[in-house]
Amino acid sequence: MGGCSCPSHFLKSQKLLASSRHVHKTAAHVVARSAPEDTVTSSFASFIHGARPDHLSKTVRHRSKRMILDSIGVGLVGSTTHVFDIALRYCRELYSPVAVSSVYGKPGVKLSPTLAAFTNGVATHSMDFDDTWHPATHPSGAVLPALLAASQMLPPGTKPTGMDFLLAFNVGLEVQGRLMHFSTEAHDIPKRFHPPSVVGTMGSAAATAKLLSLSRAQCCHALGIAASLAGAPMANAATQAKPLHIGNATRLGFEAALLAARGMEANPFILDDIPGCSGFSAFYGVYHPKPLPAPGDHHEFLLEKQDIAFKRFPAHLGMHWVVDAALSVRNLFVHYAGSFSPALIRTIVLKIPVSKYINRPFPSSEHQARHSFQFNACAALLDGEVGLGSFTESSIHRQELRELLDKVVVEHPEDNVANFDKMYGEVALLLHSGDVLTGKCDTFYGHWRKPLSKESLLKKFRSNASHVLPDEKIEAIITTVDNLENLSDSSQLACSL
């Protein structure tokens, strides 16, 4: 994997950013006002500015590299989707005099850095195949595309190392996680704002600010600017617009950091709870911010305590409970009847949490199907699996699948709450014979309580990447991510895509 070259006129325009990465050698081009001391916002700025590679434990490095590899894989397979094609055409038609950053699955295509981040963010979420954290958000897709694009943007001699990249990625994760803990609302499946469009934008700003070595004051302003660029409504879930939430989060957070690097200022109290003047609190009805401790020898990143969920098939995370429950009861049914015979089934009862946007009895598009408890349960029952092919037009509109959907009844037990750490999925088959067969899933394979093995994660990555890359490139990416700490030039990862 070789390095990427940048046009000379673009290198000249990046002198200011290069100076940010070498403030110990050169005076900063922008003198930003100091952020106020002893506020929640200033504590976040201090954390972003002060985090060091040695603050990352072995567990955090291991888990975050798994996230990076998985996110690249789902982005690569996402580059085959229709919504990605729309986003890519849009970006290529915009005026973009400097094209230096790589695009997932398109080796011959380069875009300007922020548009590359946007396009790759859309690819990452185009199938709803990306990772999920608790409290609920998709952390990697909002951060990784910005860092990949930024690593290619900087001039030779100022490229961040692989360890710089890994640290910035984890700073972006940490900021997202800490912000999610400011509100009890964030622990449940969302109803108002799509979380990555809110905390993801902030995480992207923090990660990029770290990669560009912005000052503490600039980090503070980057967060304030990002807050003015954040937010997207849940009503666009299960539509082609939902992947834009990730694309915009990673792009706009990136832009917030670039603007702060060039001297733009914002409210230095943006994360604090100021009565009568909402900052970040505007996104939550309940908001209790807490300072982020300065990084030190004993700092524990949230990723150390809270692992990530990786999806085995491309659909909303909640679908994984009902699919595993459906596969369990399907096995019982095949043992009972000798084969899967839908004619023997009178009623299919789904016991699921109350969540309106993923309760879709008869989905009519691939994006609706990815957000339908009913569809995913019936597809698992009918086919014995759910995968990429389950969400094609021909699969969605099969007559035998529609007949199964007609038999579905939904129940919402009080103990089944809309929370990815507490919910369960249960599928019961009420047979014409009077017999009842039941399958239940409390924790699916891939959940943070039952993590994917290394072998399963690599199998997923290889399968996803094989749609657009040859085997030698796939293996090279795996090796690069595995040895990320040792890279002298982190842009090599982006150049390999």
Query: Is the model's pLDDT at 9 over the cut of 50?
Result: no
Residues in the chain: 497
253-311 tens-digit pLDDT: 999 999 999 898 999 999 999 888 899 999 998 999 999 988 876 789 999 999 999 99
At 95 the pLDDT is: 58
Q: List the one residue out of 99, 145, 154 whose CA is nearest residue 121.
A: 145
- Residue 381: CB atoms within 10 A of its CB come to 24
User: How many other C-beta atoms lie within 10 A of the C-beta of residue 343?
Assistant: 8
Question: In this structure, are strands 436-441 and 425-431 parallel, antiparallel, or unpaired?
Answer: antiparallel
Question: What would the mean pLDDT of 92-121 be, rounded to a whole number?
Answer: 88
Domains and CATH numbers, the chain: 40-300+307-312+480-496 (1.10.4100.10), 317-441 (3.30.1330.120)
CA distance 281 to 182: 9
Segment 419-441, tens digit of pLDDT: 999 999 999 999 999 999 999 99
For residue 50, pLDDT over 90 is answered with yes
Q: From edge to edge, which strands make up the β-sheet containing 436-441? A: 408-411, 345-351, 425-431, 436-441
* Predicted local confidence at residue 89, as pLDDT: 85
Range name among 6-20, 50-64, 73-87, 402-416 with the lowest pLDDT average: 6-20
Phi (first) and psi of residue 296, to 5 degrees: -155, -170
Average pLDDT score over residue span 74-82: 95
How confident is residue 16, by pLDDT bands cut at 50, 70 and 90? Answer: low
Output 127 or 33, whichever has higher pLDDT: 127
User: What are 23-27's contacts with CB under 8 Å, separation 24+?
Assistant: 23/213, 23/215
Residue 296 has a pLDDT of 77
Q: Decide if pLDDT at 248 tops 80.
A: yes
Owner of token pair 């969540």: 355
Which of 72-81, 188-197, 376-385, 407-416 has the weakest average pLDDT? 188-197
Compare 28 and 109 and report the one with higher pLDDT.
109
Which pair of structure tokens corresponds to residue 299?
């700092």
In sequence order, which ranges of 343-398 are alpha helices (DSSP H)? 366-369, 373-383, 393-396
Which helix (H) or strand (E) segment is 166 a member of? helix 162-180
Cis peptide before 361 (omega within 30 of 0): no
Percentage above 70 pLDDT, the chain: 92
Encode burial over 84-95: b for 16+ CB neighbours within 10 A, e otherwise: beebbeebeeee
What average pLDDT does this structure show over 371-389? 97
Tell me the pTM: 0.91
**Band of pLDDT at residue 245, cut at 50, 70 and 90:** very high
DSSP string, 96-120: -S---EE-TT-TT-EE-HHHHHHHH
- Residue-wise pLDDT tens digits, 319-372: 999 999 999 999 999 999 999 999 999 999 999 999 988 999 999 999 999 999
Q: Is the pLDDT of residue 35 over 60?
A: no
pLDDT at residue 3, as a whole number: 47
Running DSSP on this structure, what letter comes out for residue 272? S
Residue 42 pLDDT exceeds 50: yes
